[in-house]
Amino acid sequence: MPDAGSRRDLAEIMAERRALVDAALDGRLPPADEPPLTIHQAMRYSVFAGGKRLRPMLALFGCEAVGGTLEDAMPAAVALEMIHTYSLVHDDLPAMDDDDFRRGRPTCHKVYGEAVAILAGDALLTQAFRVLADPIATGVPAARRLQIVAEIATAAGSLGMVGGQTMDIQAEGETLEPATLLTLHAKKTGALLRASLRAGGLAGGADDAAMACLTGYGERLGLAFQIVDDILDIEGSSAEMGKATGSDARKHKATYPAVFGLEAARRDAARLLAEAREAVRPLGDGGVVLVALADFVERRRS
């Protein structure tokens, strides 16, 4: 692992990993000319829509931080991005958040229609587990791979991400108690980000102590990432975010700045990122890139 303490190094590492993840995603999605064409084109349209690949990055970094290889964590990285993408496709539907654009492009249902968008989301979620169970040669023992399936399914399901989205839909237009908002964020975005680190750790053969470091880091980074996202929605320019900003407020979405105030949001994000860096200190050199990633989130402007 090269020294990733400087911003430039991290940006280079992230670009390199992103290319590897994109190639792996391409290899693990059915080809666009495989019938039925529409479903496969819709899946690819949404997966290759310019995402940051944060979850794959966390899985790869988490795995390397405990001594595993990129190859060990790649199935989890690919699966996590497929699950994240499916959640966006379904969240954008008219019956849910009703968004016409994401990352500057028309959303899946605007291009392919609602029925195909629902099915494309379903297929991406299903394919994620297909990838995790892939019988290709892997250095990760089968029992560990089942643990990764359980970890990711728990985080993505009704006690995690889907539960958080349910709360979010039901909370629209309501003023949330601070504790309720924290639960919503922990489920809706926190659970899968936490699971990304943990899946990487499991793939890399982490012991309990190392898993605890990655878990502590993942929980704090996850919440900080959400807070920064909410702040950018208020402050960011439309061009940078690729979607209309201020959209949370227009939809009366419950956000961290709305509940706690903008200054508290900034302060809490900085504190959480400091705690995240502290959490991976016991990993030594392995954790350097995770520290750099926390810096990156802190400086994020889009």
- Interface with a second copy (CB under 8 A): 30, 34-36, 38-40, 43, 86, 90, 93, 95-96, 113-116, 118-119, 121-123, 125-127, 129-130, 132-135, 141-143, 145-147, 149-150, 153-154, 156-159, 162-163, 165-167, 169-170
Q: How far apart are CA 75 and CA 66, in angstroms?
A: 17
**In this complex, which beta carbon is closest to a second copy, that of residue 160 or of residue 236?**
160
Widest Cα–Cα separation across the chain: 52
Q: How far apart are CA 152 and CA 160, in angstroms?
A: 10
The CA-atom distances, in angstroms, between 206 and each of 81, 153, 200, 232 are 22, 19, 9, 34
**In this complex, which beta carbon is closest to a second copy, that of residue 144 or of residue 266?**
144
Q: Least Å distance between CB 99 and a second copy?
A: 13
DSSP string for residues in 126-148: HHHHHHHT--S--SS-HHHHHHH
**In this complex, which beta carbon is closest to a second copy, that of residue 158 or of residue 238?**
158
Which helix (H) or strand (E) covers residue 102, if one does?
Answer: strand 101-102
**In this complex, which beta carbon is closest to a second copy, that of residue 122 or of residue 295?**
122
**In this complex, which beta carbon is closest to a second copy, that of residue 149 or of residue 249?**
149
**In this complex, which beta carbon is closest to a second copy, that of residue 17 or of residue 145?**
145
Q: Is 119:139 a contact under the CB 8 Å cutoff?
A: no
Q: Least Å distance between CB 218 and a second copy?
A: 19
Q: Least Å distance between CB 229 and a second copy?
A: 21
C-beta neighbour count of 188 within 10 angstroms: 21
Let me know how many helices (H) and strands (E) the chain has, helices first.
16, 2
Q: How far apart are CA 203 and CA 30, in angstroms?
A: 25
Q: Least Å distance between CB 1 and a second copy?
A: 30
Q: Least Å distance between CB 146 and a second copy?
A: 5
Which residues fall within 8 angstroms of residue 241, CB to CB, at 6 or more apart? 232, 233, 302
DSSP 8-state secondary structure symbol assigned to residue 5: -
Q: Least Å distance between CB 28 and a second copy?
A: 11
**In this complex, which beta carbon is closest to a second copy, that of residue 164 or of residue 204?**
164
Q: Least Å distance between CB 97 and a second copy?
A: 9
Q: Is 83:73 a contact under the CB 8 Å cutoff?
A: no
Residue 49 — φ and ψ, nearest 5°? -115, 20
